[in-house]
Structure 1
């Protein structure tokens, strides 16, 4: 079977795709304007409250906040663009004409789904190149209450890593790589998950593949004896980046950077299920643009007999919004550890893909 035969004619396919894309981005533009204006009402006062800030800082905030709004509301815009396109096609009896020519429901929707795939690819690239950087920078700017951004030298506080059965906690780490300096080091020596001894030290520095701890002291739990050890070498194989990865903001990192951070956290013995769910959602989130034509298809078929265009459009919107609710719920459950990462990221997509197919087949009947 020729794959091109699955689509309507080239003219009809381009016509439908153009309608879909124009309406999607027109709705997105309107949403961004309104939501950005509302957001500025609450944030502009905080921005201007910092001495020396003015219009330039307000526009800087807009430049970083707008990509976040686009990322959040692009799927909603695709849903509404789909429903508007299909409703107009059906109202003008164009869907009836396509069905009368022998096209199936899937063939009628094919141009919109291909256009949705293009939107998904553009959305993924935009999220990777623009949104992740804007989110990271804006989060740092908010922490300093819209003042000058500090230079990130890799300083972290209250960090712990695992070295075999032992747990290592440091009050602070400054610098990166082999130049990293530890302060307030505590090593919990464990055997068979039981605490055997506690080693503390004032400072630590990189020593080959391990760490040199100064003024070390060892407290034996069984005997209650405290022993002065002086300078000792510990944690062979523990890398500096395992200390510096104290917190990871999945929204502020690209796919490759987040995948690398997850690998480092796994090596440090930390749980990563929530981050893995967010990692795979960087794919499943943009791909929801392919799902929207299927969920909104209820607005395209069966209207000639029922005459309830508005009701069917509302049903399409309800299905789409229910998907977004389920998607956010699954991510929340993934963050709590109740859902495995792949289920949290892909479960709602696959579920509503099946629901959309079922509704489409039922509606076409």
Structure 2
């Protein structure tokens, strides 16, 4: 039994090169198929806007391609694992390595290191390229593939918490000290959470001592009486950026940008559980490539002459695709608030890591 984790340098490079080549081949094949199908469904919508032509179609391809690459890459690693190990097994190369004293983990070591490299590249690609392309494509689709309107910096239907009180503004314009609120309603609550007073104002502007509300009136819930207040000061602890925060799209933000947005939303008293799940998934998602050699390893072991090679390949694909189903399900539960954010992002990864190790150890080690 060899004590080194890796086989020889020559064997490691040979296996890693074979593995990476098949990843690229499978990814290219899946990309061409999915991109073609996507264009068949979207080209009529692109050309529906007057003036759009081949240039806009190429722009769409450039924006959609990062999303498809991010989608197919983990599947490509899984299928490349099965093809690589099945080929090595069919040519009795796995048998030769095990006869030389290598364990199943040592045979998989070059593939695991190559998969780790794919995970790192995937994270950098998603963080720097995919997030920007997604944000641009989302805005373009919202404009029905016409000119993307510039941000008017006007937000609608904004809610902010101030201690026990809840503040609602129909419209928010401007930023910083120049922030202006219109259609303002303040729901004042007692310590038990019961509604005690409703304050309505036509407008509000930020001052050094808080928010100056114009044409304010108050409705007392206990007495049922309304009182005109005129101009009053309110919410000295509420910062302007708590109103100016717009809806956050986690897919259109990089890791650090999403982290900063979550902190700002927390300061504004808004729920962030779904965003935190997506933040953690930006780390666990790329690492799924590291799992694929372990889940697909069952295809590479066992005697090829036993007639079970095809069955083992099917088992490997089944484990891999089950992981993707579980991962998407857990993330959906995290977005709904049914799972804690950290658990929603990392539970499938840890579960299938242990499952893959169990299958490998019980069958080969």
Q: Whole-Å Cα distance in 2 between the matches of residues 320 and 13 of structure 1?
A: 24
Corresponding residue of 1:79:
78
Q: Whole-Å Cα distance in 2 between the matches of residues 87 and 187 of structure 1?
A: 66
Corresponding residue of 1:123:
122
Conservation of the 8 A alpha-carbon contact between 2:153 and 2:174: yes
- State the secondary structure of the residue aligned to 2:146: coil
Q: Whole-Å Cα distance in 2 between the matches of residues 210 and 127 of structure 1?
A: 41
Conservation of the 8 A alpha-carbon contact between 1:153 and 1:175: no
Corresponding residue of 2:53:
54
Q: Whole-Å Cα distance in 2 between the matches of residues 27 and 212 of structure 1?
A: 62
Corresponding residue of 1:217:
217
Q: Does 1:289 align with 2:286?
A: no
Q: Whole-Å Cα distance in 2 between the matches of residues 44 and 244 of structure 1?
A: 36
| Residues 223-270 of structure 1: per-residue CA shift (max 9 Å, x gap) | 222222222222222222222334211111111111111111111222
Q: Does 1:157 align with 2:156?
A: yes
Corresponding residue of 2:361:
361
Conservation of the 8 A alpha-carbon contact between 1:199 and 1:216: yes
- State the secondary structure of the residue aligned to 2:224: coil
Q: Whole-Å Cα distance in 2 between the matches of residues 75 and 98 of structure 1?
A: 27
Q: Whole-Å Cα distance in 1 between the matches of residues 245 and 92 of structure 2?
A: 58
What TM-score, normalized to structure 1?
0.96
Q: Does 1:309 align with 2:322?
A: no
| Residues 186-215 of structure 1: per-residue CA shift (max 9 Å, x gap) | 110111211111111111222126322221
Extract unaligned runs of 5+ from structure 1.
none
Conservation of the 8 A alpha-carbon contact between 1:167 and 1:187: yes
Aligned length: 363
Corresponding residue of 1:111:
110
Corresponding residue of 1:175:
174
Q: Whole-Å Cα distance in 2 between the matches of residues 151 and 300 of structure 1?
A: 54
- State the secondary structure of the residue aligned to 1:279: helix
Provide the alpha-carbon RMSD of the alignment: 1.5
Conservation of the 8 A alpha-carbon contact between 2:172 and 2:244: yes
What TM-score, normalized to structure 2?
0.96
Post-superposition shift, 1:23? 0.7
Q: Which moved more, 1:180-189 or 1:149-158?
A: 149-158
Post-superposition shift, 1:305? 6.0
Q: Which moved more, 1:327-336 or 1:299-308?
A: 299-308
- State the secondary structure of the residue aligned to 1:319: helix
Corresponding residue of 2:320:
320
Conservation of the 8 A alpha-carbon contact between 1:209 and 1:238: no
- Give the 4+ runs in structure 1 shifted more than 4 A: none
Within 5 A, what are the aligned runs for 1:5-154? 5-154=4-153
Conservation of the 8 A alpha-carbon contact between 2:302 and 2:309: no
